[in-house]
Amino acid sequence: MDVTRENFEAAMGYFEGALRSAEFVSFDLEMSGINFGGSCFEEVNCWEDTPAQRYDKMRRVASAFGIVQFGVTAWRRSESSVRAASLNVFVFPSADGDDVWLSPGAVEFRDKNGMDWSTWLAKGVPFTDRAGDDDDVDPTVLNGDDASDDAEFARAQLARVREAFLR
């Protein structure tokens, strides 16, 4: 379901019900850019990076570019299948929010993949992205600095998903 400022309240009511019965929730952000001029996707998304290095790179990207869409899906099992309730929220900064920087490559990619820029500009749900911002967050506090800890955490989470949905 596409969500704009026009149907936001109704969509939240629908989705609140879906969240109450959800066994798993996933989300995704579409940004107005994913890397900086001169850098390629592979430089920003290097497999050899530690979690702290990856966090630092992605934090810089997320701080520079704006969110254009927020996708969220609530998953639950039914008797013989998996059910998903999804929202695609068009988000646009409020009038007192930050300016939005657009990367030509990101705009081209999103345009080729069906982004409705008119809806985003005219009907995007307003938000302020700097409220409560804490520049002193230490990414290693989240799950430690050790790659083996991160690998074990990822394996445990994947096992939980498999157990819940692949029975």
Give tens-digit pLDDT for 86-133. Answer: 999 999 887 776 778 888 888 898 999 999 999 999 999 987 654 544
Closest CA to 123 of 100, 98, 92: 92
Using the 8-state DSSP alphabet, how is residue 45 labeled? S
The encoded tokens of residue 54 equal 């990856």
Helices and strands in the chain: count of H runs, count of E runs: 7, 5
Most distant pair of Cα atoms in the chain: their distance: 50
φ/ψ region of 132 (left if φ > 0, alpha if ψ in -120 to 50, else beta) reads left
Single pTM value for the model: 0.68
| Per-residue pLDDT band at 146 (split at 50, 70, 90) | low
Q: What does DSSP say about strands 2-3 and 24-31: parallel, antiparallel, or unpaired?
A: unpaired
Q: Is 69 exposed, middle or buried (0-12, 13-18, 19+ CB in 10 A)?
A: buried
